Amino acid sequence: MNLAEKILAYASGRDEVKPGEIIQAKVDMAMANEITGPLAIKAFKEIGIKRVWDSGRIVLVQDHQVPADTVKSAELHRIMRRFAEEQKIKWFYDVGSGGICHQVMVEKGHALPGDLIVGADSHTCTYGALGAFSTGIGSTEMAAVFATGEIWLKVPETIQIRVEGIFKKHVTPKDLILHVIGRIGASGATYRAVEFTGSAISSMSVSGRLTICNMTVEMGAKTGIIEPDEKTLSYVKQRASRPFRPLRSDPDARYERIFEVNVDDLEPQVACPHRVDNVKPVSEVEGVRIDQAFLGSCTNGRLEDLRAAAMILKGKKIDRRVRMIVTPASQEVYLQALREGYLEIFVEAGAIVSNPTCGACFGGHMGLLAPGEVCISTSNRNFVGRMGSPEAEIYLASPVTVAASALAGRIVDPTEYLGDEG
């Protein structure tokens, strides 16, 4: 079996599973935020069960509209607080204590190798970077998980993507995943597990792997997954508060398809409006005027991303016609970026630094775009209306491309903006 199949076999108490089978599996961790959580809580109460299956296996995070920006969002926050108190939920991250749910899950040790994790958010697939099978589910389905700790799943076929080569200085994991999505298509991996392997993945940081797995849902995947190695184990051992079971694919594991990618000659990539798979090399997009640059989200709001952008912006000024929003992914990332001086660099360059939140990424809180405006963003989606007006345009790119474009006032290849520290 491959890694995804092994995790599902273990979770369902079976020696073996095969693609297409329906299994009933035990969940290791379940997560919801204040957009999806209140719906799950309502459905849970309608079921009629008084207590959740395990108050130590549920994570609740306030992150999308933080701090509350409307009376309605404040009400949603209150629902989460009351449920956490009623059910004695051990892992409740309120305003100021956590950050974006997907960053919180990994840095607080809630996502571990070998886990089956479900989250009421489509980008739950992020945790596959640690060797977990993690996937997004609906709010009513989450209510059933709250009640039983179990879920029905169909075992997916697995696509393997072998990535070899060495990244150029200005090319990042974000460029790789955009390239892959452009190649496979927005529906090319529907209900598949996508396993990444190869020398380029082995040499990649955990942060980069999280970026890769975060965006697998943008090609329709059920989950993205990477075998845990020494980097993974070193990362999780510092954070884990419970035992875990790292698993690996068998040498003779079966895959539905195998794609091969070499990053030696990969250049920065940009996903153009209004599809994530409308991907082009930056050389074909250069010159597009921008009104806003966004650095953050569960895709690229980690310390590594802030550091890369800060090295480009250091000692320079953002184009006066551009507003730049920087959003660290968590309180932990915010504090470390503060200590290392990156936030000062952003502010001196003319950017605004916000508290950790989904914020501008999903267009429901701040940083909204007006009709006709253009944004270059490190987030994961550029659909019509994603960041505000349906008449606005969103381009997706890496942190270095976003930072360089903010300086230029237009989309540019970041290569010329990388100095000795880049």
pLDDT in tens, 111-122: 999 999 999 999
pLDDT of residue 287: 95
- pTM given for the model: 0.94
Q: Burial of 90 by CB count in 10 Å (0-12 exposed, 13-18 middle, 19+ buried)? A: middle
Closest CA to 61 of 113, 124, 1: 124
> What is the tens place of the pLDDT at every residue in 351-391?
999 999 988 888 878 889 999 999 999 999 998 888 889 99
Instruction: Report how far residue 304's alpha carbon sits from residue 421's, in angstroms, rounded to the nearest whole number.
Output: 13
Q: At what angle do helices 342-349 and 303-313 cross, to 10 degrees?
A: 40
Measured CA to CA, the distance from residue 311 to residue 291 in angstroms comes to 22
| CB of 210 closer than 8 Å to CB of 270 | no
Q: State what percent of residues in the chain have pLDDT above 90.
A: 93
pLDDT, mean over the chain = 95
Q: How far apart are CA 106 and CA 403, in angstroms?
A: 26
Q: Is the pLDDT of residue 49 over 50?
A: yes
**Residue 421's pLDDT is what?**
44
Between the CA of residue 126 and those of 3, 57, 130, 173, what are the distances in Å?
16, 18, 9, 13
**What whole-number distance in Å separates Cα of residue 94 and Cα of residue 1?**
40
pLDDT (average), residues 93-100 = 94
Q: CA 203: distance to chain centroid?
A: 20
The yes-or-no verdict on residue 109 having pLDDT over 80 is yes
pLDDT at 420: 43
Look at residues 312, 366, 305, 360 and name the one whose alpha carbon lies nearest to residue 337.
305
Nearest 10 degrees: Cα torsion 174, 180, 186, 188: -150
pLDDT at 417 over 90: no
Q: Which domains does the chain have, with CATH numbers?
A: 3-261 (3.30.499.10), 270-417 (3.30.499.10)
